[in-house]
Structure 1
Amino acid sequence: MYYDKRFQTDLQFPFVLFSHQQIKTSSTGGFLLAKKDKFDAISERLLNVDQPTLKDIISRMSAGEYVRGVTDAEKDCFQIIQDLDHINGRVLGSTTSKKYMRNEIWSVVAARGAPSWYITISPTDIKHPIALYYAGTNEKYVVDTKPDYSEKFRLISHNPVASARFFHFMISLFIKHILGIGSYHPGIYGHTSAYYGTVEQQDEKIGTMD
């Protein structure tokens, strides 16, 4: 974890690991769906799908048109999409997983009301000593050591795992001490009744509700 970081600095390892994780979650979702009583009906819809109708729906939706199932063939096509969502929803980064997140956010808003705060957080890993310590190979951190910008950039860019660990560490501290979640004291914004956090590439956001 600290000195030997051959997997953290391997350029291919994160891609291979994420790909295997997606395959695993897809397979798990497929097995769970196959064990349900409605699997026979799902198989029947897949085998008898109306291909011209499906192509027409795809072309209309690609053009930006809002399409609703009117005919029986169109309804079967949309039902197939819902069936596949049971599998796709378990895959990280998929369109269905993002749709489920939006549903969760709307559920929180319906239960607790509209958010009082929208907070954007972007911890700068290239300038923080903790991130540099995670990315380095020294087991002991020396405070007097001040690497130049090129050295810091090299450390962070060659170890994405260190950046992820640093981001998780900072966000966990923010949720606990700033929002007061799981702490003995209220947050600096008062009592936080609910919060929902999403992570985007180059844009990390935490939405809180008082």
Structure 2
Amino acid sequence: MDIENVYLIPHLSKPVNKYFNPKLLTGLYPTLFCYGLGAPEDQSRPVQIKFKEHIRYLLSYNDRRFETNHSFIFVVFNLLQRRDACFHAQLIVTKPYFQTSADEILSLNSKDIETALDNNSKRTYNSESNNALNKLLQHIKTIGGRVMGSAYSRTALRTRIHALIYNQGLPSIFLTLNPADIHSPVGLYFAGVKLDLDNIQNEQLMDTYKRAEIIASHPVATAKFFHLLITNILDTMIIGGVLGPVKAYFGTVESQGRDSLHLHFLIWLDHDMKPADMKEKIQDINCRYKLKAFLEDIIKEDLDDFKDKHAVEYSN
């Protein structure tokens, strides 16, 4: 019986340097960097390119090998998160006031932190119980608010929304945009499917499972499709579109259960009408008639073809 050769790659005794180390990604992904060249932050390169821009370039490769790799995009995202955290932590420790906080934080021990984490998970943490621990958590919150994808970054977004509400008042419209990427020919086109967007044929679109498989395996193409669609909606419908003058808007992008992107949107219309004013005006029959006509004008549906087809199938 043939015995298969097994190659073991041992771990080093110390962590690998994640800064300006071109061997990091080439060692992790030898099948992506086939000749051991082209890695980010290679100091021998005559023109220096920022790490984030280089990753963006790699994910746009024509052969899509970086985009379709199962772990590359997550590893580099984690590296970017770590760098953001380290950069903002460095900014904080250079502030004059941090020395006082540092002395208090040094007085903490592992038992204090363990107790605080346990109480926090049980929602029984008392912010007045330990001043040094509060200082540590405050610094973590400040740094985490600037790290993309972190829980504290969502808190920072809520703070910005509160500031906008304080400045502009309550928003006029709450809107959710949830593009159906697996059903969009444009999304498939971005993912590399050869389609004539001016002449789409049903047989070219494949079945739903195949479309979902293509979209799921091309996250960069899906993100580009989402960005293009949302940008066009903003330019053509929100800003100076059917909603009339808009004085402010705020949106946040989230991923849903199937990791597809969607957008939650707050819009402030440029008028002085308050909810109480709207309630008063809606009592007028002419206002109700105009509002109904407006809604019927901007909201459309057409099921005539579907009804005719269904009637024919039912009669047969």
- Picking from 80, 84, 90, the partner of 2:136 is 80
Q: Which runs of 4+ in 1 moved over 6 A?
A: none
Which one has a bigger Cα radius of gyration? 2
Pairing 1:48–2:107 present:
yes
2:276 aligned partner: none
In the TM superposition, residue 22 of structure 1 has moved relative to its aligned partner by 0.6
Equivalent AA in structure 2 for residue 147 of structure 1: L
Unpaired stretches in structure 2, ≥5 consecutive residues: 1-59, 257-261, 270-316
TM-aligned CA distance change 1:67 to 1:29, over 3 Å: same
1:87-98 counterparts in 2 under 5 A?
87-98=143-154
- After TM superposition, the structure 1 stretch with the greater mean CA deviation from structure 2, 17-26 or 144-153, is 144-153
Q: Alpha-carbon deviations, 1:83-133, whole Å to 9, x = none?
A: 222322221121211111111111111110111111011111111111111
Q: Distance in 2 between matches of 1:141 and 1:187?
A: 25
TM-aligned CA distance change 1:144 to 1:187, over 3 Å: closer
Q: Distance in 2 between matches of 1:134 and 1:2?
A: 13
| Equivalences, count | 202
Q: Distance in 2 between matches of 1:171 and 1:55?
A: 44
| Alpha-carbon contact 2:141-2:152 (below 8 Å) kept | yes
Instruction: Return the structure number with greater relative CO, CA threshold 8 A, min gap 6.
Output: 1
2:173 aligned partner: 117
Equivalent AA in structure 1 for residue 224 of structure 2: R
3-state secondary structure, aligned to 1:119: strand
| Alpha-carbon contact 1:121-1:205 (below 8 Å) kept | yes
- Picking from 160, 164, 176, the partner of 1:104 is 160
Q: Distance in 1 between matches of 2:61 and 2:95?
A: 45
3-state secondary structure, aligned to 1:209: strand
| Alpha-carbon contact 1:3-1:138 (below 8 Å) kept | no
Pairing 1:191–2:256 present:
no
2:285 aligned partner: none
| Alpha-carbon contact 1:42-1:83 (below 8 Å) kept | no
2:117 aligned partner: 58
TM-aligned CA distance change 1:64 to 1:85, over 3 Å: closer
CA RMSD in angstroms comes to: 2.3
Pairing 1:135–2:166 present:
no
Q: Distance in 2 between matches of 1:137 and 1:128?
A: 12
Q: Distance in 2 between matches of 1:139 and 1:7?
A: 23
TM-aligned CA distance change 1:199 to 1:64, over 3 Å: same
Unpaired stretches in structure 1, ≥5 consecutive residues: 181-185
Q: Alpha-carbon deviations, 1:21-72, whole Å to 9, x = none?
A: 1111012112212221123223212211265554444333322236331x5x
| Alpha-carbon contact 1:3-1:139 (below 8 Å) kept | no
Equivalent AA in structure 2 for residue 204 of structure 1: L
3-state secondary structure, aligned to 1:7: helix
